[in-house]
Structure 1
Amino acid sequence: MTYSRRGFLALSGLSALAVAGCGTASGSGIRNTTTLRYQGSAGAVTPPELAASLGYLGELKLDWVGNTISGPQDIQSAASGQIDFGGAFNGAVVKLASRKAPIKAVISYYGSDKDAYSGYYVLEKSAIRSPRDLIGKKVGMNTLGAHAEAMLDIYLKNHGLSRAEAEQVERIVIPPVNTEQSLRQRQIDVAVLGGILRDKALETGGVRKLFSDFELRGAFSAGTYVLTDRFIKQNPETVRTFVTGVGKALDWSRTTPREEVVARMTEILARRKRSESADALKYWRSYGVSAPGGRIEAQELSVWSDWLTERGDLKSGQVQVDGLFTNEFNGKKAAG
């Protein structure tokens, strides 16, 4: 599933009030709540929702408080105590942590693999064939300073372009639903497309893939769910149930025939009655999380910390990645 949750540069303006309110759970000591408040995604089934449907959360209940299309907003809401967990692109998690928000990533929930990836597409007859051909060209993406731009920077750097040369590649913000049209009308030279929008463009034809994030980095987890340090301290068994259950759901989705997964998701949408369309589920292929149980690897966060530091958005050493995540509550043990 592809989410519009990557525009996290706005986090640099996170107010002191929001940070001060991190982890506002009342009282002290262990309480192990039996309900978790969260935000969903219209027309989609999140891993926790799938876990609940499969019975992997046991007696733990999910309390849906609304939908979000913004990962940065989702994790800010978790940090300020408006919800209990939120998810975002790992770069957004690093950025929020740099603002001293006491949060911790506990499990990966989406990423890129052979079925779920973002591709960088040009028109079939485009003269663009190599990274250096992108100099002076326009690349359309959903937001700046996030996943799509990071992948572009890594692609250019890996192929020998200097920072000055890479800066000559113009990055244009375009709503995802308009990206394909903008490419076909030659308003941009390259379109970043993923999920249903990518599949529809390929069905129409006339476009050619220049590269994809999966081809660039292999299978990798791109986003994590976070909770506040205080919530984790007060609800360790709740967190363990949540993380282990979501991890089982991720594994189930990866090992179960796609048709069965889509059928289960369609059933979930029908039962929750949120006045939403299930059409997009027909295009679902994978959550993109390759690690067993959604376990987090340090590199999945450090790659963005390094990128943000190189851009000048963070100071060297500003974020200690090792303290930003934990696999302590994940029932799936590390391989080996």
Structure 2
Amino acid sequence: MATTASTRRQFLTLLGLSAVAVSCGTTATGATSGKGGTKTLRYQGWAGQVTPPELAEDLGYLEDGKLEWVGNTISGPQDIQSAATGQTDFGGAFNGAVVKLAANNAPIKAVISYYGSDEHAYNGYYVLEDSPIRSARDLIGKKVGMNTLGAHSEAMLDIYLQRGGLSPAQIGRVEPLVVPPVNTEQSLRQQQIDVAVLGGILRDKALAAGGIRPLFTDHELLGSFSAGTYVMTDRFLKQNPDTARTFVTAVGRAIEWSRSASHEEVIARMTDIVKKRGRNEDTAPLKYWRSYGVAETAGRINGKELQLWIDWLAERGDIEKGRVALSDLYTNEFNAGGGTASASPTPSAAKSGS
């Protein structure tokens, strides 16, 4: 794995390459064909987890719609590329990856926030209890394991390093490595990596086992914020507006249900969902779930959570300034839930120390 900053940027550029080829739109085979539109939405899941759309379907919020699982992913950028190229009907990723894909002419729109950071749902950067790593400068020459490059985890790492006073050259000497989420804790404990990025169920399970401590968390860096959105292609939205509206509204309702229901009820339903789908998954870690971390009511997008990353990517030189217009990047048209969105962190939150 190359460690230079330029290699990281090359990876970020790759996020949008396939989108260039489909900048005029892609006709999906099967799910989005037919005069009457579709009631079936193809998607990728996450092993051992229940996503908001899966919860929405189980709660009956999709009405006459249904989800069609086509496999699992461990990468947000890969997931939204699959949506952009018509292999799936929606995909979700860190907002910076959404911005990057749009900057490469992908015909997509963000339609709802689906995860974020709060006091319960956050990504932490963990080291072994006896690790000498205590600061950003201690990370020079060290390996940081995360689920994918060019997405949320690498962005948070870069912000932390910038705030720690590291120069671009020094930041380039910190080595991010792709490690499947289910293997990240083990890789840290076996000292194959120096820092493990852990979130949600996997984080709390690792903390319960002991022997690790946080170096920093994304919640400490930026406070509570919605971090990722589901996207759909412009073509899908045009051809299937009713299905899109049902889907987006249902996901928003599921997010709100997860906030209002008791922890025991949410975990029981998630456990039942995982058992029913029969994918040979361990349900034990589900007891550690606490929150999806979405900041706004019903996942509505207020724009600031996307503008933050438009500015961050432009400052890094990963996208051309002015390349992405915020007004073209997202819509709340299909979300019938919620009222006025609450405030998200301002773009200056990502800039400080840069």
Question: Per the shorter chain, which TM-score range?
Answer: 0.7 to 0.9
Correspondence 1:154 to 2:148: no
- Residue correspondence of structure 1 range 195-206 to structure 2 within 5 A: 195-206=200-211
Instruction: Select between 294-303 and 147-156 the one with higher mean Cα deviation.
Output: 294-303
- 8 Å CA contact 1:38, 1:83 repeated in 2: yes
Q: Is the 8 A contact 1:108 1:296 kept in 2?
A: yes
> Any conservation in 2 of the 1:123–1:208 contact (CA below 8 Å)?
yes
Equivalent position of 1:287 in the other structure: 292
Distance 2:44 2:101 in 1: 18
CA distance in 1, matches of 2:45, 2:163: 36
Task: Give unmatched runs, 5+ long, in structure 2.
Answer: 1-10, 343-354
Question: 1:14 maps to what in 2?
Answer: 18
**Equivalent residue, structure 2, for 1:110:** 115
Deviation digits for residues 304-335 of structure 1, max 9, x if unmatched?
22332233321222222221111122112215
Equivalent of 2:333 in 304, 324, 328: 328
Q: Which residue of 2 aligns with 1:256?
A: 261
The answer as to whether partners of 1:140 and 1:171 remain within 8 angstroms in 2 is yes
Residue deviations 1:24-71 (CA, integer Å, cap 9, x gap): 55577xx45333232333332221121122122222222333333333
Q: Is the 8 A contact 1:19 1:80 kept in 2?
A: no
Q: Which residue identity does 2:317 align to in structure 1? A: G
Match of 2:348 in 1: none
State the Cα deviation string for residues 286-314 of structure 1 (Å, max 9, x = none): 21212110011322222222332233321
CA distance in 2 between counterparts of 1:44 and 1:89 reads 17
Q: 1:295 to 1:138 in 2, by over 3 A?
A: same
Query: SS where residue 15 of structure 2 aligns?
Result: helix
Instruction: List alignment gaps of at least 5 residues for structure 1.
Output: 1-6
- Per-residue CA deviations over 1:236-288 (Å, capped at 9, x if unaligned) read 22222211111010011012111100111122223333443323322222212
Does 2:66 correspond to 1:76?
no
Secondary structure of 1:127's counterpart equals: coil
Task: Provide the residue aligned with 1:212 in structure 2.
Answer: 217
Conserved? CA contact 1:153–1:166, under 8 Å: yes
1:308 aligns with 2:313: yes
Q: State the one-letter code of the partner of 1:265.
A: M
**TM-score where L is the length of structure 2:** 0.83
Q: Distance in 1 between matches of 2:39 and 2:183?
A: 42
Partner residue in 1 for 2:5: none
Q: 1:139 to 1:244 in 2, by over 3 A?
A: same
1:273 aligns with 2:278: yes
* Distance in structure 1 (CA, Å) of the matches to 2:341 and 2:323: 31
Q: RMSD of aligned C-alpha atoms?
A: 2.6
| Aligned 8 A contact 1:36 1:84 in 2 | yes
Write the distance in 1 (CA, Å) between the matches of 2:177 and 2:230: 28
Tell me which moved more, 184-193 or 201-210: 184-193
Q: 1:76 to 1:23 in 2, by over 3 A?
A: farther
**Corresponding residue for 1:134?**
139
Distance in 1 between the 2:104 and 2:328 partners? 14
After TM superposition, the score normalised by the length of structure 1 is 0.87
Whether the aligned pair in 1 keeps the contact of 2:17 and 2:104 (CA below 8 Å) is no
Deviation at 1:151, TM superposition (A): 0.4
Partner Cα separation in structure 1 for residue 210 and residue 48 of structure 2: 26
Q: Aligned partners of 2:56, 2:333: CA distance in 1, in Å?
A: 19
Cα distance in 2, alignment partners of residues 335 and 148 from structure 1: 25
What's the counterpart of residue 4 of structure 1? none
CA shift in 2, pair 1:304/1:244, >3 Å: same
Are the counterparts in 1 of residues 74 and 148 from structure 2 also a CA contact under 8 Å? no
Percent of counterpart pairs with the same letter? 67
SS of equivalent residue, structure 1 residue 14: helix
Deviation sequence 1:112-151 (CA, Å, 0-9, x none): 2211211112232333333333334333333332211110
Equivalents in 2 of 1:140, 1:43: separation in Å? 19
